[in-house]
Structure 1
Amino acid sequence: MTKKTLVTVVTANRFMAETIARAIGATSELEGYYHGNGYAVTWTNGEIIESEYKHGEKFVMNSGQDMRQMYAHHFNFRMRNYDALLGWEKSKADEAQLSVIKTLWAKSNVVVNAMEPTFEGELAFLNLYWYLRMPVTVRRAWLPRLRKPIIIRAVENGTYSPDKHEAWLAEELVNFFLKANSEAAGKDLDIESAENESADESGDVELNIVKGQTLHNMVTLWMDATMELGYDFEPTFLIAHKLYAKGLISYPYLYQNGIPGNVYDSMRRDFRVLEHNPCYGRMAKEVGWLSTRNTFHNGETPYNGHGIVTTGLHPTDLSRDEEKLYNLIVKRVIEAFTPDENDFQKKARKKRKSHKKAG
């Protein structure tokens, strides 16, 4: 039997694949994938395989199966095939790309899941895995930022904290199962009663209010882009994802706008690149030290996302629309990391305490 030595990286789209391939040395461009340095990098063009909950089969937790196996047990998997009445038909391109993925998969001793760093990205890969049913060692490359050192480390080693990732994924899958089971049973959530229940318990809710400007998430970026640039949601969404795929911004998560400590540490190094921005470079130069007000404070998990930050790369070859949205993000990043009065007061108190200890 021929020993398999290929490592195949599967990601969501060609833009991401190109950036990842460049980082790991897969420089030969072939039909449907990149190849080189022992790697193949291919893409799915989104959720190429769809899942459907098995009707009539009640969701039951089974201690003998892990959550991925339970997912396969409770769902059917098939190629996406949109309703022809709405103008969609199964794409020949999908069939061709799936054939490429299957061929590379069969030659691989490791497949790297480099889908988007979201729960939806996890589902897209699981759908593909259980549709193909070709057992292989899987490594998860969690890539909220597409920088070369981060890509190489993730592709070679997988997630930084696999136990935490597995615990997060298991919890998300349970919630997904319960929702699918409820919908299949016709027990959709009563929105009105849920709102009333939330209102009754509002006294127990503790709010984490961040003073000063916050980082963008996808929703606030869209609102800003509408006001400043006249963009609707769809073009804002597509441009933001292109900027992410080019390695210029972190993944544009929908709601989260805080950042974990390791991202803050990176921004301390990368922030100086913004001083060369033609629109807001002078503004960046005036920031002496970076505020920590946007860092995670309540035990948030990075697997649920973080605010949009720049990555320290110089933008090149951007379209006019990409440049305008990128500069809008740059402006907000500078504002979010600019210390306010509370930051200065905290720093002064910390300095006084250190002097007392030294005395």
Structure 2
Amino acid sequence: MTEKTLVTVVTSNRFMAETIARAIDANTYHEGYYYGNGYAVTWTNGEIIEAEYKRGEKFVMNSGQDMRQMYAHHFNFRMRNYDALLGWEKSKADEAQLSIIKALWAKSSAVVNAMEPTFEGELAFLNLYWYLRMPVTVRRAWLSRLRKRIIINAVEKGTCSPDKHEKWLAGELVNFFLKADAMAGENALDIESAENNPTDEGSDVELNIVKGQTLHNMVTLWMDATMELGYDFEPTFLIAHKLYAKGLISYPYLYQNGIPGNVYDSMRRDFRMLEHNAQYGHMAKEVGWLSTRNTFHNSETPYNGHGIVTTGLHPTDLSRDEERLYNLIVKRVFEAFSPDENEYQKKSHSKRKSCKKAG
């Protein structure tokens, strides 16, 4: 039997694939993937495989299965095929790309899940995995920022806290199962109950609400882009994801606007690069130290996302629209990390106490 030595990285689009491939020296382009240094980097063009809940089969927790296996047990998987009545048909490009992914998968000793760092990204990969039904070692590369060092570590080692990631994913899958089960049941009483007891769909997303200016999330970025640049949501969303794929900003999550401690530590190193920004660089020079008001509370998890930050890379070859949105993000980063008056007072008080003790 031929030993499998290839490691295949699967991500959601070619923009991300190109950035990842460049970081791990997989620089030779083939139709549908990049190759080199023992890696193949390919992409799905979104959620290429769809999942449909098995109607009539009640959701049951099975202690003999992990949550991924339970997901496979309760859903059917098929290649996406939009309703022809709406004008869409199954794409031949999808079929060709899926064939490439399957061929690379078959040659791989391990597959790296580098889909978008969201629960939706997890589902997209699970759908693909259970559709192919080709068991293989899987590592999760959770790439909220596309920097070379981060990419290499994630591709080689997977998530830095696999136990925490598994716990988070299991909880999200249970919620997903319950929602799918309720929808499939079409129970009028459940609908009435939901109407009488409305819940916020984002309630399971842990938000770090702070006083003063916060970092952008996708929603607030869109609002600012609408007011200041005249952009609608769709172009704002697409441009933000291009900036992420180019490694210039962190992943633009919808709701979260706080950051975990490791991202704050990175910003302390990367912040000075923003002094070279042509439009707002002067603001960076005025910030002596970075405010911690946007950092996570202890109970928060990075797997629900974090606020949009820059990555320390200097932008080049941006389109005019990309440059304008990037500068809007840079401006908010400066504002969010600039200490407010209360923080300055606390720091001054702390210094005075230290001086008294030293005296």
Q: 1:126 to 1:209 in 2, by over 3 A?
A: closer
Question: Residues of 1 paired with 2:355 and 2:322: CA distance?
Answer: 48
Counterpart in the other structure of 1:96: 96
Which amino acid counterpart does residue 77 of structure 2 have in structure 1? F
Task: Give TM-score, length-normalised by structure 2.
Answer: 0.95
- Give 1:62 deviation, angstroms: 0.4
3-state SS, counterpart of residue 50 of structure 2? strand
* Matches for 1:135-284 after TM superposition, within 5 Å: 135-187=135-187, 189=191, 190-195=193-198, 209-284=209-284
Counterpart in the other structure of 2:18: 18
Which amino acid counterpart does residue 47 of structure 1 have in structure 2? E
3-state SS, counterpart of residue 104 of structure 2? helix
Question: Residues of 2 paired with 1:237 and 1:311: CA distance?
Answer: 18
- Give 1:29 deviation, angstroms: 0.4
3-state SS, counterpart of residue 228 of structure 1? helix
Which amino acid counterpart does residue 256 of structure 1 have in structure 2? Q
Q: Sequence identity, in percent?
A: 86
- Give 1:209 deviation, angstroms: 4.4
Which amino acid counterpart does residue 193 of structure 1 have in structure 2? N
Question: Residues of 2 paired with 1:209 and 1:113: CA distance?
Answer: 31
Question: Residues of 1 paired with 2:161 and 2:349: CA distance?
Answer: 34
- Give 1:186 deviation, angstroms: 1.2
List structure 1 runs of 4+ shifted beyond 2 angstroms: 187-192, 206-209, 348-359
Question: Residues of 1 paired with 2:128 and 2:209: CA distance?
Answer: 40
Question: Residues of 2 paired with 1:78 and 1:350: CA distance?
Answer: 61
Question: Residues of 2 paired with 1:113 and 1:50: CA distance?
Answer: 17
3-state SS, counterpart of residue 111 of structure 1? strand
- Give 1:327 deviation, angstroms: 0.4
Q: 1:309 to 1:2 in 2, by over 3 A?
A: same
Pair 1:39 & 2:42 matched: no
Pair 1:342 & 2:345 matched: no
Tell me if the contact between 2:207 and 2:258 (Cα under 8 Å) persists in the aligned partners: no
Counterpart in the other structure of 1:202: none
RMSD over aligned Cα atoms: 1.6
3-state SS, counterpart of residue 4 of structure 1? coil
Count of aligned positions: 351
Counterpart in the other structure of 1:203: none
Counterpart in the other structure of 1:201: none
Question: Residues of 1 paired with 2:28 and 2:244: CA distance?
Answer: 23
Which amino acid counterpart does residue 99 of structure 2 have in structure 1? S
Note the alpha carbon deviations across 1:235-294, whole angstroms, 9 max, x for none: 000000000000000000000000000000000010101100000011111111100000
- Give 1:212 deviation, angstroms: 1.1
Question: Residues of 2 paired with 1:135 and 1:356: CA distance?
Answer: 65
Which amino acid counterpart does residue 127 of structure 1 have in structure 2? N
* Matches for 1:69-84 after TM superposition, within 5 Å: 69-84=69-84
Q: 1:353 to 1:192 in 2, by over 3 A?
A: farther
Which amino acid counterpart does residue 197 of structure 2 have in structure 1? A
3-state SS, counterpart of residue 29 of structure 1? strand
Question: Residues of 2 paired with 1:270 and 1:99: CA distance?
Answer: 41
Which amino acid counterpart does residue 139 of structure 1 have in structure 2? R
